[in-house]
Amino acid sequence: MEDYIKTLKFIPSEGNLKFSNDQFELILLNMEGIRKVTRLGNKLSIEFNTYIHSEYAMIELMKDNGYDPVTVEEKKGFFSKWLDKMAKNNKENFGGNRLDCCDLSK
């Protein structure tokens, strides 16, 4: 049910903040569609409704106010790692070309 709620994390850019952290937190909380704003150290975590704000629009809003998105690399499970390894091996063995059987009908 909560699939439309997304959380993004941001860190302040170097000296480009338009508002203090407290002021900006209040501005965000007063915006429609923002459910929760949490500050941990210098990181700002924003939980928002994706039907009202797109991820791109939220990142642009934060960049305009002096915050950069925190990129978190997702952990991959066994199956994803196996698929990546198989794709890498196929690329090494077959290159980026089509298979020979696909070219035979021409």
Whether the pLDDT of residue 2 is over 60: the answer is no
How confident is residue 98, by pLDDT bands cut at 50, 70 and 90? low
Specify whether domain 2-69 bears CATH 2.40.160.60: no
More confident of the two residues 102 and 26? 26
Three-state SS sequence of the chain = CHHHEEEEEEEECCCCCCCCHHHHHHHHHHCCCEEEEEEECCEEEEEEECCCCCHHHHHHHHHHCCEEECCCCCCCCHHHHHHHHHHHHHHHHHCCCCCHHHHCCC
Tell whether the model's pLDDT for residue 1 goes beyond 60: no
Q: pLDDT per residue over 8-59, tens digit each?
A: 898 888 766 677 777 888 888 999 999 999 988 888 899 999 889 888 999 8
